[in-house]
Chain A
């Protein structure tokens, strides 16, 4: 079966899920929420993969962008009754703007410095959200009104499910298209060899910032939609634990691959939900998986599914992880 046919089948299957759940009569509301949340996590994973996997830049504070998106939606909705479309776009835009703050460190700082700075960004957003309670409601959070999308009432779990699904499909299409054109190739070029990229005319610094902007925008949109899905945002939804979760999704799924990112989101979300009652278990499992992936499965899930004829060869992946480079 061709790759495209497989994808279409998957989307159709997802579209039919609410029907299936209804037929089975099983806790429809719960499962629809869980899968909707998964779709949103997948958007975040795709956004982080665009930055880390495709452009080779590290972000350990991606929850900061998601939080900015979520809070934008929540605040605008609570005070001005803004709808989901506007809220999500506003969230994405604010996150994109904030990413400019990380723009200069991204262009000037090497790997681990950038990692620490992005970590700080994630922490800062979390702390400010907690402290600035006049705007954000502090630890009490913000409750949103019933979600509306472009005049349509989408307040039911089934409708929000489709909103999340459509959003994921649109994001995937956009990112996939982008990677097949000039800008997407430039992202990969600066990751593989900055000096060669510059020799080809790629403005390296500007491209790094552009990668951050794109990634932050998508993460912000995800956050914006999430706010309406959950109906409530609070600082505890974000912060370093979330950032590490997103990080795990991209690593376990395999870097530089959209299906990998989505697969990683599925695995991480499954582990998180299954192990939710036992504190520390999901962290231990995910941490262990990351270490195992790095040591033994450098391409992540994506590489394990290499048997699919449409997938890339494994040698390139192994080389890209293990190749000797000057620090």
Chain B
């Protein structure tokens, strides 16, 4: 029984790494611009179509296509920030939610138009079969997902801790006005944050693609769980998003194994309500106070 449980946890961690990646992207964007990007999943999904086109129409090898996708994602993030959100600086929260939702609908619709809703396969270039380790079955796909998450977390830590850009992002989060006065190029930093955020969504999408196949709504489930993970983490804490995503992955897989897979999302939202009742700012969140 414990072996079965561990197996589920492992699968949960692997799936959770996708939630965590997407959630990290959401939090990076939110921290810099205070916008919740409801189009996050759709933007990641759009990047996978770029990879798909590169592979099928231009016979580009997978690794290069992957790179192409994440570059495209970065560019998309920058463009959306500069030409869309940038115009709405200072607008109320509702307005920003509306515009990212509109963008979400637009992207799903446009890609549905262009490619149809039939799933497009994306083969993972993994030729190795599953490995058995002490009774546990390790699928290479799972290992890769966790590995990529680890690498990107280290990269993010380095970015925010040590580079000028990362520090700039943190400064903007704390006090955008002062940041500007100190000479931090706020516009450029915001664009970077969006670029990185969407890039993370694209990585999650690319990792999910071999399993889900590429469709306009492939990221819908993942991004909903990413929102929940980000909220659990307090929507501001990167570590919170990471832990939230991994924990959520395990929880979802446990629910699917022992209760009902079709109700997983409903149960998760029920749990979220409970958590928020006790901690309205998430598990790691900071309260936001309004001054009169």
Contact = CB atoms under 8 A, between A and B. Distances in A.
Do any CB atoms of chain A lie under 8 A from CB atoms of chain B in the complex? yes
25 contacts: A52-B94, A110-B93, A113-B280, A119-B227, A127-B266, A128-B266, A244-B105, A248-B102, A278-B113, A279-B112, A279-B113, A280-B108, A283-B106, A286-B105, A287-B102, A287-B106, A287-B109, A289-B102, A295-B87, A295-B99, A322-B88, A322-B90, A323-B92, A326-B290, A326-B291
Nearest to B92: A325
B97 A291 contact: no
Contacts of B105: 244, 248, 283-284, 286-287, 290
B112 A283 contact: yes
Given A284-B112, A291-B84, 15 more contacts: A112-B235, A117-B269, A128-B266, A280-B109, A281-B109, A284-B110, A287-B108, A288-B106, A290-B98, A290-B101, A293-B102, A298-B95, A324-B91, A325-B90, A327-B34
Contacts of A289: 102
A165 interface: no
Interface centre among B84, B97, B105, B290 (most CB of A within 10 A): B105
Interface stretch (A18-26, A76-84, A101-109, A151-159): A101-109
Contact of B272 (A120, A287, A295): A120
Given A111-B97, A326-B291, A104 B277 contact: yes
Interface in B190-213: none
A262 B92 CA distance: 24
Contacts of A288: 102, 106, 109
Contacts of B220: 240
Given A280-B111, A281-B109, A284-B113, A131 B94 contact: no
Contact of B280 (A60, A109, A294): A109
Interface stretch (B53-61, B129-137, B257-265): B257-265
A209 to B, nearest CB: 15
A54 B34 CA distance: 24
A131 to B, nearest CB: 5
B270 interface: yes
Given A111-B93, A113-B276, A195-B292, A60 B101 contact: yes
Contacts of A52: 94
A234 interface: no
Contact of A282 (B109, B117, B228, B292): B109
B103 interface: yes
Interface string A285-316: 11111110111001000000000000000000
B101 A247 contact: yes
B181 interface: no
Among B110, B114, B269, B276, chain A packs the most CB atoms within 10 A around the CB of B269
Q: Which 4 A/B pairs are nearest by Cβ-Cβ distance?
A: A280-B112, A284-B109, A287-B105, A290-B102
Interface in B218-263: 220, 224, 227-228, 231, 235, 260, 262-263
B104 interface: yes
Contact of A110 (B98, B114, B288): B288
A327 B113 contact: no
Contacts of B121: none
Main secondary structure of the interface of A (DSSP, over half): helix
A123 interface: yes
Nearest to A199: B292
Contacts, number: 167
Nearest to B83: A295
Contacts of B263: 127-128, 131
Given A111-B94, A294-B102, A120 B277 contact: no
B109 A119 contact: no
A131 B117 contact: no
B97 A283 contact: no
Nearest to A324: B90
Contacts of B272: 117, 120
A124 interface: yes
A127 B262 contact: yes
Contacts of B235: 112-113
B187 interface: no
A123 B265 contact: yes
